[in-house]
Each structure stands twice: as structure tokens, then as C-alpha cells.
Structure 1
Amino acid sequence: MDKQAGEFTRFLSHISVWDTLNHQAKERYRSKLAPDFRLFDLLRCNEMTLSRCLAFLLDPKGTHGQGELFLSKFLQILPENLSFPCSGEATIFTEYTMPDARRLDILLTCSNSAIGIENKPWAEDQLLQLYDYAKWMNERYTQNHWLLIYLCNNEIGEKTLPSDSNPNLKDGVFPFTFYRFVEWLEECSLHVTALQVRVFIDELAQFIREQINGESNMDEQSELTQLILSSPENIRATFLAARSLRNIKSQMWRKFSDNLLNQLIPLEVNIEYDPELLDGKKEIGFDIIFHPGDRFALRWQFEYSNYRGFCFGIVNHNEVEHVKDAILYPQIRSAMNQCFPYVSEEGSD
């Protein structure tokens, strides 16, 4: 055990030195390379924004000026048994409202054929969501001239498309990951002739890698990987750290909670943590409740998985209350904007 502890200590020392040198290198070349600049960090990039970006690229008439480049490359990556007949002029819609009031993120129609895209970078599946989309498309577009793409890094779940669904519906649903999405963007970028469009594609791909796929900076990731693989001792120390990671997170959150409670003793508040906080899931965090009977609470949470996208706000803590107060909610938003005028905001339930 002493030997393992020694290896682990030396490994952490190596990591610390590497991190310091990496930070110094960034500072030295920051003005010329801007290594941490991300265009999409300046935008409120949510699910709807991603859908608009994808629809913009797939539209042959889009202002990107590349014609059918993106659409043709997109159709080429579909498996041969899911080849999609697309002849004639394509029309594309975002947030397409169906008869049952469900809204399909993207709908691309081409003569008597259609492709639907359900974009799920972070949000949870709704009950029978893919089933309802597939059923509607199957009824509207005959001869199986339809395809429903499930854009998500998770597998298709029983909740959204039950396993006992009609085979015609299940066969028309195609899972497509954001990892494959990035590969499609990179392939298209090689053939784009407009520099500003290529920059847009590269920035979009970078955003998806980091904020959806959870990848770190590729150069830093490669350097760190080489450091880990440089010796058997470093490899063993890495696995030792990985096995202890959950306990490390648990102790850090417990220490944070204790410190926060000590700071808030004069206010006599209660803090409630989401059970999944240790797992780094998306949309998890903690609430500060000033009184058990309060309708609202202060909340801090991570918008994305792996503790990314930290945000804060006021939430409805009363589970029974589902209807927004037409007067109170605008007042809350106005007060938040006055207190934090330079913080981007997004209202929700």
C-alpha cells in the first residue's frame, strides 16, 4: 500500500507540474491563439439553437451558399437499408407542430418523402415521444418514404419507443449520435469553399465535442494521455484515482455543504441536494430553502453533464403548483434582471 501511495503522490506531482506549464503556455500565446475562445460561449446555445443550426446547414437554399453539400453528405451516412428517396426541391421546418400539438424539432420534406429529426442533446425523453412522431409520419408518408432520426448519445429507450411497437414504426427510426454528427461536420468542412461558413462549422463541432460529448480540448487531452501512458506507475496511479473518484466527489460535496451551512447559519436555512449530484448528471444541483412552507427557493445547478454549465436562479419549490402566476413570475424575472443585469437569463418553469 505504501508503494501505491508513493506512486500516486508522484503521479499527482507530475499532473500538477504539467497543468502549471500548460497554463503558462496558454498565457504566453493567448493574444495570438486565444486557446480558450469559443464562439458559441457568447450565445445562449440550447436545444432550439442547435436545431436551427442543423436546419440551416441542411437547407439547400440556406445563406451558407453551399447548395446541397450538407444535405447530400447527410444522406450518404445513412445505412444502405435506410436509403432515403429525395428527389425534387427540399423544404425544411423547425419546431414543426403536429396535430396532437407535439413539436418535431426538424422536418425535411422532399416531394412525397420526409425526414424528421428529434434533437436530444440534454433533455430527457417524453412519454411515447418517438412513437407518436413515427406513427404520424407513417400515416402521412406512404410507401415507407419517411425516416425519423433520433439525434442523441443515448440509446432509444422503452419510454419513448416501446419494444412492442409496430415494426413499421421501429424500422423507420434511426439512432444517430452527436459523435457521428461531428464526423459529418468535419467531412462537410473539407468541401466548403466559404471561409466564414467553415469557421462556423468548426466552432459548432467544437461546441458539440465539449458541451454535449464531454470531450476536453483535444491538444490537452492528447498531452495528458501521453503523460499517463509514459510509465506503468502513472497508469496504475490513474486507475487508483479512478476507483476513488466517487468517494473524492462525495467528500468534496460534503465539505462544501458544511462550509455553506456554516456561512448561512444566521439565516437558518435548509439545503437540499439532488441525489444524482455525485454522478455528474445534467440538470442536477441544490436548493436553498429559507422556510419549509416557502413556494420558491434559490437554486444552483449544472445545465450539462460532468459538472458543466453552472447556473443559478429562483425555482418553484411547490410540486403541487403547476400554473405560472401571470403577475408574480414577471416580477421575479424583473427583479433578477435588476440584480444581475450582465448575466444571460432564460425563464422556465
Structure 2
Amino acid sequence: MPRFSKAVSSLRSSEIRDLMTLASRPDIISFAGGMPGNELFPVEAVEELFRGLDLKKKQAAFQYGPTPGLPSLLESLGGFLEKKGLPVKENRLLITTGSQQGLNLLAKAFIDPGEPVLVENPCFIGALSAFRASEAELRGVAVDRDGISMEALQQELDRKERAKFLYITPYFHNPAGLLYTAERKAQLINALQGQHIPLIEDDAYGDLYFYEEDRPRLKPIKAINPAGINVCYTGSFSKILGPGLRLGWMLAPDEIYQKCELIKQSADACSPSFTQVLADAFIRSGQIYTYIAGVRQEYKRRAEAMVAALREHMPDYVQWNEPRGGFYIWLTLPDEADATRIMMEAVEGGAVFVAGKTFDPEGKRNNSLRLSYCNNSPEQIAEGIPIVAAAIRKFCG
């Protein structure tokens, strides 16, 4: 019998991944995956850009590349990030194979088995998986409508054993959909200064805001560049171009960057050159800005359709966030509710979502659920939400 490592023996398949097979059934309306709509991808634009490249660049797309990323993409992506105010020249930029790899690199750089890390509760399942793979002790910190709870965070910071880092998703949070306020970010910065706890700031959805008045709230903590805090900023092309490119990035202080680059060398040597060439061409053409502006409006339309359906069909005791960007709506049910049972009932009716315990670092609290509107037309949303509402009523009254 094979003797596996403790680390791999502790891994469990993501419930979201397990639901993907179910969600692919033509008779199921899926609100489960955070996937962009296939019909929204800029296929023709990217085809034209690739045809317009010279032979040397096309050949480079088929070749191995440097571990940190192709120099041309590092330059164009650096300019893209500088427009957000990020301190690119004061840090090091690393291309990763999806932002998920960035989280895995940081986990391996910081975590020894049994050491504590702080995460939001609820938390992005990919981060939980990456940190569990390094055998971290996950300590969940509650969130409220303004961001991470400062009272709960301070309790964790006051504990004798110092956490290795804090991981947050402040911009259209996955799964809770919330957008941190500027005040909460300022409080967070104040709490972390002098603590010697690095901050991992995951920003996969910040470009997908629905309202211009929210743009000041979207300034990354990394762009604020607070003294006394090592901020590692991660992002991705997955939501703003296509997840199939498997390209993300990490902007980090030099000392942290160097460790992560060494780990990446042993993991995959380099991220795909072919998709790096495509992403570089897309940025340099300027089409990335018009494309993001277009899909932003489409996701807003889908979010509004889901909110309208929820208002029409959900019982009064169900609470949810009003999305201001991103992909998700987080529903909170009565304390005694079991979202997994409700999900299975909804599947029988023809719709699926993700139960809340999937995003709980301890995997216990299950009176909530995540709905994704990004991959559904308003017509599908109008058909699927009544199914979810009926399942909730069956178990919650």
C-alpha cells in the first residue's frame, strides 16, 4: 500500500470542483462556479492580435520562458498595474500560472506544518486549499459589511503565537461579495503596523466594479504602500481576459519575491509562454481596457437580474448583499439551516449553488450559500432562482 505524505493525505477535493460535473449537465442551471461566460471572451480580437505578431514573437510563444515571466509582459503588465497606483518599481513582479499558484508559492514560502495563518471567514476556497496543503492551522476571522472584523482580528493579533500572515480579498470578496470600505482598510493598516505579519492582498475582481463612485474604495492597500507592512499583492487575467490562459501575477517586496521565484522554478520552471504573448499583445493594443469596460456592464446586468429575482422569490428571513461588482451574492439563512440539504433539493429541481461550509476554514457553519451570476443570462437567472427559493422554503419554512 502506498505511503503518502501527511500533507497530501490531508487534502480534500473542492466541493466546487466536485460540482463542475453536475453543473455541466444541460438540465442544470448552475450558480456554482465563478466562471466568466464563454460568450464574453474576446476570441476574435485575440485571434487577430496573434495573426498580427511577427514570426519571432510567434516562435517565442512556443518556447520556454524565464521563470519570472516574459520581459515584454512584465513591462506591459507593470504599466497596467501602475495605472492603478501600484508601486511596481519599488517591488518585484512575478508572473504565475494563475493567481492560485501565487497563493501556493506564498504558502510554501511562509508556512511550516502546524503554524497559524489568518484568513477571512468565509474565505476563498482556493486559498484554504493552498494553505491546507502546507499544513497550516487556519484561523478564521469574521467579516461584516465593511470588511474584516477589527475586533475579531485584534483578538487574533493579541494571541501569543504570531500568525505567519493575513490573507484577505477586499474587492468584491469571494464568496461574500463585499467591498471593503476605505475606513476599514485604514483600520486594518493601523492594526498590522508593527506586528511583523505580512499581508496577502488578493485582487481578482477589483476591475469588475459596477459604479464609478466606488473607484476610490478600490485603491489597493499595496498602492497605499503603508510603512511597516510587507504587502504581497496578487491578481489574475482569469476574470479580465480568460481563466484558460492560466496567468496571474504577484507584486511583492524583493525578499519575498526571491523566495517565491525559487519555489516556482521547482514547481513549473515557467508559466505558459503562449498565453503570456497573447496577454502582452492584448494589453499593448489597449483593448484590455475597452474589453473590461464592456464585460463590467454585462456582469452588472446579470447581477441586477439576480437581485430582482431574489427580491421577488426569496422568503423574508433570507438576507443577502447587494453586489457592487464581481461575481457573487452571499445568502444568509436562519442559524439552524443546512445549506447542503437545501442544495441537494435544488439540484432535484434543476439548479445548483455552493453551500457555505465550503468557505468556512473549519468547514462547520452551513447556514449560508454562494450564488454566482457571472455565467448565466438574465433569463436563466429568472428560471433558476425560484428553484433555489423553493428548496429554501422546504427546509426553512
TM-score category, normalised to shorter length: 0.3 to 0.5
Of the two, which has the highest radius of gyration? 1
TM-score, structure 2 normalization: 0.32
TM-score, structure 1 normalization: 0.35
Q: Which structure carries more relative contact order (alpha carbon 8 Å, separation 6+)?
A: 2
